[in-house]
Each structure stands twice: as C-alpha cells, then as structure tokens.
Amino acid sequence: MYFIIIAFILIADQGIKYLIRAAMELNQSIPLIDGIFHITYIHNYGAAFSILQNKTVFLIAVQVIVISGILVYLVKKRKTEHPMLLLSLAMIVAGGLGNLIDRAANGYVVDFLDLRFWPIFNIADISVCVGCGLMVLYVLIIEPKRSRSKI
C-alpha cells in the first residue's frame, strides 16, 4: 500500500515537471490567479528555500542515505507500525525521490508552484512537508496514547 502511494506521488511529480520543462521557458511565469498563484519555471540548485546552493554532491549523498534508511524501516515495520507513521514516511520518501531524481539527472530541481509570497516549490516539496506534518501529529498525539496503553 505505502509503495503504491510512493509510486503515485513520484509519477505525478515527475510527470508534471516533464510537462513544465516541455511547455515553458526557464524563468517564464504564467499567472493562474494574477498576483496570487503563478506557474513559474525555475531551477533550484540548492535544498529547501534554496539553501546549500551548488552543493549537489552533498545533497545527493544526504538524500540517498536518508531515503535508504526510511525505505529499510518501511519494509521492516510495515506490518507493526501505526498507519499514520508509515504514511508520513512514504510521503517523505516520495518527495525525496522526486527531488533526488531531478538533482541526480540534471544537477538541479525543477520548481514551479509560485504563491508570490513564498519560495517557489514543487509536488515533491509538498509531499515532504505533508509527510513531516503527519509525523509531527503522530509523535504529539498518537504515539503518547500508544505508549500509555503499553504500560
């Protein structure tokens, strides 16, 4: 189940990035809601919020290590861990893989979702952020209840 979620997010992310690259010029911006939401095609040579610019090899190494560790955990714990934790990890892996594919193939990540007041981002970034949010909810709400029930 979780590997289907990873595949779905990864296909959506890579498919939309392919369409953006094919249909738009670099730095072109198309307003969908003028001044609020644009599709703006850029290359991000760093990580989230463009930190660690031009540290491609380092970023690839970190992504490979983190994604590999999470995948091993997902395989080993898929039958015993809480579904929300597993979903959060699957979303983090999917987003991480989407950006890793870009970075390894091109040396940059394709970003295109532009809210005008926030750094431009992509589907993979959304997946990682939602996955992290679900993990925070799991740690703050579900895990304490599970721990108490084991006592």
The CA distance from 105 to 77, in Å, is 31
Percent of the chain with pLDDT over 90: 83
pTM of the model: 0.91
- Among this protein's residues, is 13 annotated catalytic? no
Give the SS3 label for residue 30.
strand
Q: What is the pLDDT of residues 5-50, one digit of tens each?
A: 999 999 999 999 999 999 999 999 999 999 999 999 999 998 876 7
Confidence of residue 149 (pLDDT cuts 50, 70, 90): low
84: closest CA among 150, 124, 133?
133
125 Cβ contact partners less than 8 Å away, ≥ 6 residues apart: 48, 95, 99, 111
Please list the residues that pair with 37 across neighbouring strands: 33
**Digit-coded pLDDT (tens) for 54-94:** 788 999 999 999 999 999 999 999 898 999 999 999 999 99
Backbone angles phi, psi at 41, to 5 degrees: -85, 115
Find the catalytic residue in 13, 102, 111, 114: 111
Whether residue 145 has pLDDT greater than 90: no
With a cut of 70, say whether residue 143 has pLDDT above it. yes
- Only one residue has tokens 């909810």, namely 137
**Residue among 13, 102, 114, 125 flagged as catalytic:** 125
Domain residue limits, the chain: 2-21+38-138
| Residue 125 falls in the annotated catalytic set | yes
Write down the mean pLDDT value for the chain: 94
Mention every residue, 6+ apart, whose C-beta is less than 8 A from residue 121: 111, 113
Task: Kindly report the length of the chain.
Answer: 151
What is the tens place of the pLDDT at every residue in 94-128? 999 999 999 999 999 999 999 999 999 999 999 99
pLDDT on residue 52? 82
